[in-house]
Amino acid sequence: MARILVVDDEIGIRELLSEILYDEGHTVELAENAAQARESRLRQRPDLVLLDIWMPDIDGVSLLKEWSSQGLLNMPVIMMSGHATVDTAVEATRIGAVDFLEKPITLQKLLKTVAAGLARPVIPASMRSRTERPVASADPIFTQPPALAGGPAAVQPAGVVPAAAPVHDDSHLGRISLNQPLREARDEFERIYFEYHLLHENHSMTRVSERTGLERTHLYRKLKQLGIDTSRKKPSGS
């Protein structure tokens, strides 16, 4: 899959985006400020960058300009912010950003925007006409104020479908004893329910979250409460 650089000064956002993108099979590198983002970009060109606009040292638009002037803006960059204006979004696209994500970032919006960004060819700033209007993205966010995702459901990005594995079927529900308090019986049912979806979705927390209708934070809390192990081995092995 892709190598994605996430640049944001908020640790909670960096960790959340990292978990979601990792679950989708991407390699993720994190940077908490422009200095770390520069170092990462010079080490290796990422396939895509998620760049926060408001950061304490240098803002994302200034870093975008810097990369453009140095000929380093040869990868798709998606800007992120919870307070950006339409003018800021338009300026970022003129410099070379391919899209914009408004915080708080919804799961489907993130996956849809990342998939579209990876599929879009990057046009160097030197080849852009000054009179050329920014190319419209799948969501016309640059011609109107950013809005929270509320339109049609995002299309699930294509991915490798895991091979079918033996999973729990309905017959396992027969093992739940009805001669016990409701709380214990409910916990047993929920344990079987979530283990089924974890196995079926190859332990992808992103897909389990979508399948069960629970936000990731609530999902992690529920699995921990039920004593279900959510750890996933990294490719390097640990």
| Alpha-carbon gap, residue 103 to 83, rounded angstroms | 8
Non-local CB neighbours of 12 within 8 Å, separated by 6+ positions = none
Non-local CB neighbours of 200 within 8 Å, separated by 6+ positions = 165, 167, 211
Query: Which residues partner with 51 through β-bridges?
Result: 7, 79
The SS3 assignment for 39 reads: helix
* Residue 199, H or E segment: helix 182-200
For residue range 64-118, list pLDDT tens digits in order.
999 999 999 999 999 999 887 788 888 999 999 999 999 889 888 999 999 999 9
Non-local CB neighbours of 3 within 8 Å, separated by 6+ positions = 26, 27, 28, 29, 44, 46, 47, 48
> How confident is residue 122, by pLDDT bands cut at 50, 70 and 90?
low
- The pLDDT assigned to 197 comes to 85
| Alpha-carbon gap, residue 13 to 23, rounded angstroms | 15
**pLDDT of 183 higher than 70:** yes
* CA dihedral over 188, 193, 194, 200, signed as positive or negative: positive
**pLDDT of 142 higher than 60:** no
| Alpha-carbon gap, residue 130 to 139, rounded angstroms | 23
Q: Strands, DSSP E only, in 43-98?
A: 48-52, 77-81
Residues 6-19: what's their mean pLDDT? 93
Environment class of 59 (CB within 10 Å of its CB; exposed 0-12, middle 13-18, buried 19+): middle
Which tokens in the block code for residue 18? Answer: 């990292």
Is the pTM higher than 0.85? no
Which of 60-69, 84-93, 120-129, 160-169 shows the lowest mean pLDDT across its residues? 160-169
Contact in structure between 48 and 5 (CB atoms under 8 Å): yes
Contact in structure between 134 and 93 (CB atoms under 8 Å): yes
| Alpha-carbon gap, residue 167 to 203, rounded angstroms | 12
- The pLDDT assigned to 126 comes to 55
- The pLDDT assigned to 194 comes to 85
> Considering the chain, what percentage of its residues have pLDDT values greater than 90?
39
